[in-house]
Structure 1
Amino acid sequence: MPVASFEILLNSINAYPIIEALANPQDCVTLDLSIDNEALLNINISSSKDLDNYITNYITYNKAKLAYGGYLEKRGIYKRSEYFNELDTKKERNIHLGTDIWISEETPVFAPLDGIIHSFNNNTNYGDYGPTIILEHKINDYMFYTLYGHLSIESITDKIVGVEVKSGMQIGTLGSANVNGDYPPHLHFQVIKDIQNYKGDYPGVTNENDLEFYKSNCPNPNALLRHY
């Protein structure tokens, strides 16, 4: 299915908010963490504490409950981790493929749609997702997947692959920097058309060389969070 058609399908779905505060647009503010944001020049973005202070102050200043954004954003934060870096700048993974939702740790995370637990894993590379859950969905005979990264350890405890999940069911909570790859607490939410052979993991950041493939396979998650 072409990307545009798939996004039309997503926009036709009555999805449950994956974070409850998302239901009220007035409680949400967009956040730019790209290399073009000059405000970040004075922030040590390699420090999860300093970045957390920046994001918290930004949310407070805007009288919001959470900040969100980041789809196809080119970011400098990944330079701190060898997991993302290559000598060839075109192979350096720094383009973000999901939407990040920045809010406090232990915030509940809910399934937006009916589905099943496809897989889960604790991805422990520095700067990686940490605890991650992937759900499988089928709508109008079309199968696709949603990924939830940077969760708490408890979120993947006692999970069972293949178990049915209903829209609005809590699937986990957000983790702290100690377990989520060393980031301020947030949810990485990503839509994936073809999961390939991945289980409990899928690239959430890409490079320039592979961008066109991932743009097609991972369309804008805001199509599902369409109240923005």
Structure 2
Amino acid sequence: MKTFEQVIKSEASVIQKIIDFDETKDKLLALDFTENNTELTDEILDDTDLFSAWINQKLSDNHVRYGIGGYNEHRTIYSRSAHFDAGEEPRRLHLGVDIWAPAGTAIYNFYDAKVHSFANNNNFGDYGATIILAYNIGGYQFHALYGHLSLSSLNNLEEGKFIPAGTKFAELGAKEENGYWPPHLHFQIIENMNGLKGDYPGVCKFSERERYLANCPNPNIILQSSFGVFNSF
């Protein structure tokens, strides 16, 4: 049986955009949210507006529209929310890729899909408005979670609804509706939803890293085709 990476590479020519991106002039800025990023002080992380301003300044200074990164990244930024600190071991390992862009940025479906589930996960630091789509590409079935959306993105949805490739189906939400984060898309691939609907952990304990990464393969293989940018980000 082909792996997720093999399937997506074989179908790369039909993978469509997730956000508007002109590969002839747009670039992506990799953002690091590990302990190596000493610019992000507790003062900045504790204030969503300051955090947003920091990201916007980085994008502006580098003359780019979008920031990106985060898969398999051990992040210190989750200390800003008690949502990630339940139990003896905090959750810090990021299982998706983040695309940092302004609130209202259009989100498109990269391939034919059906709505698996959706929810408003409105804890501080959570996904906020969330849509999970189910895909079958070359016989390979998986899900993609789109988090930190606008609440209006959940309007007129129902489980099983068909979302054609290339369709705009959501927008990025402002802090008040995206879990109180700077506006961005959390994009995560999930093979087995394990019975969950409208939600799936996007951050896990480091001790559970191997189990979660096995179920959440690297989304960059889709994003590289979607963006038309074949470098590692």
TM-score (structure 1 length as normaliser): 0.93
- Tell me the alpha carbon deviations over residues 62-86 of structure 1, each in whole angstroms, 9 at most, x when there is no partner: 1101101011111122112221104
Task: Identify which of 145, 149, 152 aligns with 2:150.
Answer: 152
C-alpha displacement at 1:57, in angstroms? 0.5
- Tell me the alpha carbon deviations over residues 89-143 of structure 1, each in whole angstroms, 9 at most, x when there is no partner: xx21011110000000011100011110111000011100000000000122221
Instruction: Determine what percentage of the aligned residue pairs are the same residue.
Output: 38
Equivalent pair of 2:111/2:164 in contact (CA under 8 Å): yes
3-state DSSP of counterpart to 2:207: coil
Structure-1 residue corresponding to 2:193? 195
Query: CA separation of 1:174/1:22 partners in 2, compared to 1, >3 Å: closer, same or farther?
Result: farther
5+ long unaligned stretches in structure 1: none
Equivalent pair of 1:21/1:28 in contact (CA under 8 Å): no
Equivalent pair of 1:104/1:174 in contact (CA under 8 Å): yes
TM-score (structure 2 length as normaliser): 0.91
Structure-1 residue corresponding to 2:163? 165
Greater shift in the superposed pair: 45-54 or 18-27: 18-27
Structure-2 residue corresponding to 1:107? 105
The code of the aligned residue for 2:53 comes to: N
C-alpha displacement at 1:43, in angstroms? 5.5
The code of the aligned residue for 1:157 comes to: N
Query: CA separation of 1:114/1:23 partners in 2, compared to 1, >3 Å: closer, same or farther?
Result: farther
Equivalent pair of 1:17/1:23 in contact (CA under 8 Å): no
Structure-2 residue corresponding to 1:51? 51
Equivalent pair of 1:126/1:181 in contact (CA under 8 Å): yes
3-state DSSP of counterpart to 2:176: coil
Structure-2 residue corresponding to 1:215? 213
Query: CA separation of 1:43/1:60 partners in 2, compared to 1, >3 Å: closer, same or farther?
Result: farther
Measured in 2, the distance between the counterparts of 1:41 and 1:82 equals 17
Greater shift in the superposed pair: 14-23 or 141-150: 14-23
Task: Identify which of 111, 120, 123 aligns with 1:122.
Answer: 120
Measured in 1, the distance between the counterparts of 2:27 and 2:120 equals 30
Measured in 2, the distance between the counterparts of 1:12 and 1:188 equals 24
The code of the aligned residue for 1:194 comes to: N
